[in-house]
Structure 1
Amino acid sequence: MKKVQNTHKNSDIEDLHDAFLMLVGAFNRPQRDVLMIEKSGIQLDRALFPLLVQIGRFGPVGVVELADRVGRDYTTVSRQVAKLEEIGLAKRQKSPKDKRINEAAITSAGKAMTDKIDVTRAKLYESIFLHWQAHERAELERLLKKFVADFIVVPERDKKTDR
């Protein structure tokens, strides 16, 4: 049986991958965080911004998982969570399910800050989606959630087949 490369299919995948890289790059730009901090009227070190947002959205969250989410090593994130704790925006606690896991949880002061960030983000997204139909936004959300769910599962499935 002769193997034939489907270059059209590879090109589609490469274009899609490029779009994902552009999206991740846009979200990871430090300038975007600085803009959000300024427009929200908050005082926060830019390096702590993505951690606070993640803790606010997904917390309480294990520090190891938090490090994975922001693409930093555990020790760096642990130190940064300690800084958030020092300034009263987050607290560290043991997971009620597994006492070996240290979690980061948001405080009321942290929640007040993320509420301001959320208002600023909503304004930004409203301007971006100004000319999008409601069904287009809903479809984008649905497809992104579907992709992320499958994207997370694939490495786990591959680990099982490598054995």
Structure 2
Amino acid sequence: MDQHALETIEFELALLLRRITSFTTTNIGTLDRSAYLLLQQIAHHGSAGIKALSEEFQLDISTVSRQAAVLEQRGYVRRIPDPLDRRAYSLQITDPGTKELIETKAARTARIGALLKDWTDEECEAFGKLMSKFNRTFS
């Protein structure tokens, strides 16, 4: 691999992380990042247990459990007991959770769209594909 290309990627990622942190300190929609990601995962892949969610996001079970508890308190998810193991449960998104997810996604998409307004459709598509490919390398 080309060293200069790697150094450029490393620097641009560091800069992106700084800017994303600044960009997301102001609320985009009604859900914070962790709630948004958990609801997005459950909505796209169906009900999921805490362990599966913690593995997906590479977080401690206790962290995901706390985040899920907040979602449950807000009525965005509900627990579905495991019929084979009464101690275990999966989380399922509720109608209010789906509504909040849709509204937050629309707000986030609009904000990103404003940043990319001068990009071509081809550039946006290529960027999305490369970001997706890069994110999958962590799995």
Residue 54 (structure 1) aligns with: 37
Kept in 1: contact 2:72–2:78 (CA 8 A)? yes
Residue 12 (structure 1) aligns with: 5
Kept in 2: contact 1:55–1:105 (CA 8 A)? no
**Number of aligned residue pairs:** 134
- Identity percentage over the alignment? 20
32, 38, 51: which is aligned to 1:64?
A: 51
- Counterpart code for 1:10: Q
Deviations 1:104-157 (A, max 9, x none): 3321111111111112112202211110000110111122222233x136xxxx
1:32 and 2:24 are equivalent in the alignment: yes
111, 119, 125: which is aligned to 1:132?
A: 119
1:78 and 2:65 are equivalent in the alignment: yes
Q: Which has the higher helix share?
A: 1
User: What is the root-mean-square deviation in Å for CA atoms of aligned residues?
Assistant: 3.0
Give the structure, 1 or 2, with the largest relative contact order (CA under 8 Å, sep 6 or more): 2
Distance verdict in 2 for CA 1:116–1:33, change over 3 Å: farther
Distance verdict in 2 for CA 1:23–1:104, change over 3 Å: farther
Please, what TM-score do these two structures have when normalized by structure 1?
A: 0.65
Structure 2 unmatched runs, 5+: none
Residue 141 (structure 1) aligns with: 128
Distance verdict in 2 for CA 1:89–1:34, change over 3 Å: farther
Please, what TM-score do these two structures have when normalized by structure 2?
A: 0.74
91, 94, 103: which is aligned to 2:78?
A: 91
What SS is found at the alignment partner of 2:90?
A: strand
Residue 152 (structure 1) aligns with: 138
